[in-house]
Amino acid sequence: MMKRLTATKRLKSTWINFEPFSSLLRILLGLSIYSFGVYLTIYVNIGLAPWDCLAVGISRHAPLNYGSAMVAVSLAAIVIQLLLHERIGIATVLDAIITGNLTQLFCNISP
């Protein structure tokens, strides 16, 4: 007879649930790493992803820096998603706000 493998029981806190905090920290860490990667592709000029290319193009033709242009493009995408009745999560909103601003911060502090 084969034994079924069962998942180990997780220890649950009776009064504090840390799972939302750990998932938020993972989201913030992932967005930070992604923002640094976008900064590196801009800094070394090896090519950009389509949304990043759009934001860089907007920043070169409008009185906006890259971070402001990326936030504007991301918020426009969120508005379109909401108009199409698509579900968005907290990570989508955090991505729209944090990624452009953090990439702009990296660009500002670079030599």
For 32-79, give the DSSP string: HHHHHHHHHHHHHTS---HHHHHHHHHHHHSS--HHHHHHHHHHHHHH
Q: Is 5 inside a domain boundary?
A: no
Does residue 6 form part of some domain?
A: no
pLDDT at position 110: 83
Domain that holds residue 108: 49-111
Q: How many domains is the chain built from?
A: 1
> Does residue 89 lie in a domain region?
yes
Is the pTM higher than 0.85? no
**pLDDT by residue, tens only, the chain of 111 residues:** 556 655 555 555 555 555 666 788 888 999 999 999 999 998 998 888 999 999 999 999 999 999 999 999 999 999 999 999 999 888 899 999 999 999 999 999 987
Question: Has residue 16 been placed in a domain?
Answer: no
DSSP at 15? S
pLDDT for 100 equals 92
Would you state the pLDDT for residue 99? Answer: 93
Is there a domain that residue 8 lies in? no
| Residues 6+ positions from 43 with CB-CB distance below 8 Å | 107, 110
Q: What is the rounded CA–CA span in Å between residue 8 and residue 18?
A: 18
pLDDT of residue 59: 93
pLDDT at residue number 26: 87
Establish if 23 belongs to a structural domain.
Answer: no
